[in-house]
Amino acid sequence: MDDTVLLSILVLGGIAAVSAIVLFWTSRRFAVTEDLKILQIDSVLPQGNCGGCSYAGCHEFARACAAVEESGFAALNCPVGGQTVMDKIAEIRGFAKIEKKPTVAVLRCNGTCQNAPLKVQYEGISSCRIAARISSGQTGCPTGCLRLGDCVKNCRFGALSINPETNIPTVDYDKCTACGACVRTCPRGLFELRFRAPDKQMLYVACRNTQKGAVARKNCKAACIACLKCTKLNPEIKVENNLSYIPDTISAAACGAELQAACPTGAIVYKGAQKA
């Protein structure tokens, strides 16, 4: 009986000792030494791993931030964390704080089911990329929204949804973090990250069709027809390739309502201040 107890203690104790040695050795052998700054920066990042900074996840971005010189710091941005997070990182690195403009994604297409009726019916997998490959889309506009929601599926912040009344996506600007996933996803490149002024007003041309006005209008009532009316009101607006573009330096509050009223097709979208 005594032998059994002794044997058990010896065997189990031996296993424990061997395991301890192996553990000790492996922890030494495979120890990872990492810059403390990376951990510090990582801890202030949002940890959404959205890729909006163009790095593969928050940890990679933290490494980039820890490695960068002060001169290159301005090129780095965490769009999700925004000003507060970048300020914290600047503090950790001892750099001067850099002012970043808050941006949101806008959909540069107004091809709603009212403006651009269906010409053919698409059946099959719900993927804009596939639909764009086999046709110009159900509406016929070769640059318009395909309405199958690749952007919605790729938005990690729930800021995008297909509006059941218009069948095209709408952006919830308050949820949008400007991570850029939709910009990279849309096969037609319809999303643009634009400055969002503190008054929360937005003004942009919701069209990317570069066809001649008459051709574009055949497919969509809200297409930009390059009538140049907007350029007469504000010379900063440029029309190239039959398409008008409003730079986001133009204040929406100052001339948004005027421009929207002037546009004959409704391609210019002005979203006024939200009622508090």
Partner 1 sequence: MLKITTAPHLQTSQDIRGIMRDVLIALLPAAAAGVLVFGINALVVVLTSVAACAAVEYAANRWWFKKGNTVTDLSALVTGMLLGFNLPSSMPLWMILIGAFAAIVPAKLCYGGLGKNIFNPALVGRVFLFISFPVQMTHWPIPQFMHIFNFDAQTAATPLNILKHLKQGSQAVLPSISDMFLGNTGGCIGEVSVLALLFGFGWLLWRRIISWRIPIFYVGTVFAVTGVLWLITGDIRYHPVIHVFSGGLMLGAIFMATDYATSPMTMRGQLIFAVGCGILTAVIRLCGTYPEGVSFAILIMNAFVPLIDKFVEPRYYGQRR
Partner 2 sequence: MSKIKTFPIGGIHPDKHKITTDSPVVFAGLPEVVTIPVKQHIGAPAKILVKPGDKVKVGTLIADADGIVSSDVHSSVSGEVVKVEAVEGGVGYVEDMITVKVEGDEFEPSIDRSPNISREIPFSADQIVAKIREGGIVGMGGAGYPTPVKTTVPEGKKIDTLILNGIECEPFLTADDRLMTEKSEQLVIGAKLLNKALGIQNAIIAVDENKPQAIAALEAVTKTYVGVNVQVCATKYPQGGEKQLITAITGREVPSGRLPADAGCLVQNVGTVFAIYEMVMKNKPLFERIVTVSGDACLHPANYLVRIGTPVSWLIEQAGGLTPETSQVVLGGPMMGTAAFNINAPITKLTSGVLLLSDNLVARRPEAECIRCGKCVAACPMGLQPYLIGWLMHDHRIDELKNTHVLDCIECGCCAYTCPAHIPLLDYCKLSKMELRKKN
Please give the residue ranges that form the binding site for partner 1 (CB under 8 A). Answer: 118-125, 130, 133-135, 138
N residues, the chain: 276
Rounded CA gap, 50 and 60, in Å?
12
Of 129, 144, 133, 121, the C-alpha closest to 219 is 144
Q: Least separation, in Å, of the C-beta of 215 and partner 2? A: 8
Binding to partner 2 in span 196-225, by CB under 8 A: 211, 215
Nearer to partner 1, 83 or 135 (CB): 135
- Using CB atoms within 10 Å of the CB of residue 240, give its burial: 0 to 12 exposed, 13 to 18 middle, 19+ buried: exposed
Of 88, 111, 38, the C-alpha closest to 68 is 38
Nearer to partner 1, 125 or 214 (CB): 125
Q: Least separation, in Å, of the C-beta of 146 and partner 2? A: 11
CB 209 within 8 A of CB 243: yes
Binding to partner 2 in span 111-140, by CB under 8 A: 119-120, 123-125, 127, 129-130, 133-137, 140
Give the one entry of partner 1, partner 2, none that residue 118 binds, where binding means its C-beta sits below a cut-off of 5 to 8 angstroms depending on kind: partner 1
Rounded CA gap, 242 and 165, in Å?
29
Give the one entry of partner 1, partner 2, none that residue 211 binds, where binding means its C-beta sits below a cut-off of 5 to 8 angstroms depending on kind: partner 2
By CB under 8 A, name the binding residues for partner 2.
119-120, 123-125, 127, 129-130, 133-137, 140, 142, 211, 215
